[in-house]
Amino acid sequence: MPVFDKAQATELIRKRRSIYPTQFAEQPVDQSIIEEMLENANWAPTHRITEPWRFVVFSGEGLKKLAAFQSELYKEKSTAAGNFDESKFEKLATKPLKASHIIAIGMARDPKESVPEVEELSSVAMAVQNMYLTATAHNIGCYWGSGGVTYMEEAKPFFGLGERDQLLGFLYVGNLKSDKWPEGRRKPITDKVTWVND
């Protein structure tokens, strides 16, 4: 039977935060930490062991490729729809460059469809939580963003996803500029739980 430090486990869960790219330092995150995050993601719960999570990791020059791809796809689609916004285009072209690494988050649908899609999505979300917690243990910042090209069908092939798969957003990862860890806020759990004892 494994033995864990329960207080540390609780502390880790409660200290997890979304930390945004504007709070990231220029110094890149060590590759070994990214690899540990991905390995821990691989141990998320998965019904029927479908392991639906798929990740594409961008760093270095790869961040520029991601920025160019998403900004140009946005420009193409929004221009055709008549709602192009120059400031949004610029944000998509520059925001990725503020991160050390960006992990594109995908869900690959089980070909047999033996598991309800919502369960596959939940598995991917739990895999991302494992990455968040691993980053927190290393005092690394993370932010799961789902804007930009996330829900554009045309984006899927760039991330190796098929028609039935889903792109669920991007995990921005970076070292913090400050050594001050953000405070969290939650309403009491008693507001969200009903006990049925009889």
What one-letter code names the amino acid at 1?
Answer: M
CATH code at position 139: 3.40.109.10
- For 71-92, what is each residue's pLDDT tens digit? 999 999 999 999 999 999 999 9
What angle separates helix 31-41 from helix 117-137, to the nearest 10 degrees?
A: 150
Residue 146 to residues 12, 65, 107, 170, Cα–Cα distance (Å): 24, 18, 14, 6
Residue 23 lies in a domain: yes
Residue 63 lies in a domain: yes
Whole-angstrom distance, CA of residue 21 vs CA of residue 19: 7
Reply yes or no on whether the pLDDT at 97 is more than 90: yes
Query: Each residue of 9-39: b (16+ CB within 10 Å) or e?
Result: eeeeeeebbebbbebbeeebbeeebbebbbe
- For residue 153, the enclosing domain spans 18-178
Residue 47 lies in a domain: yes
Counting residues of the chain whose pLDDT is more than 90, the rounded percentage is: 96
> How many distinct structural domains can be found in the chain?
1
What one-character DSSP code corresponds to residue 24?
A: B
Whole-angstrom distance, CA of residue 76 vs CA of residue 109: 28
Mean pLDDT of 172-176: 98
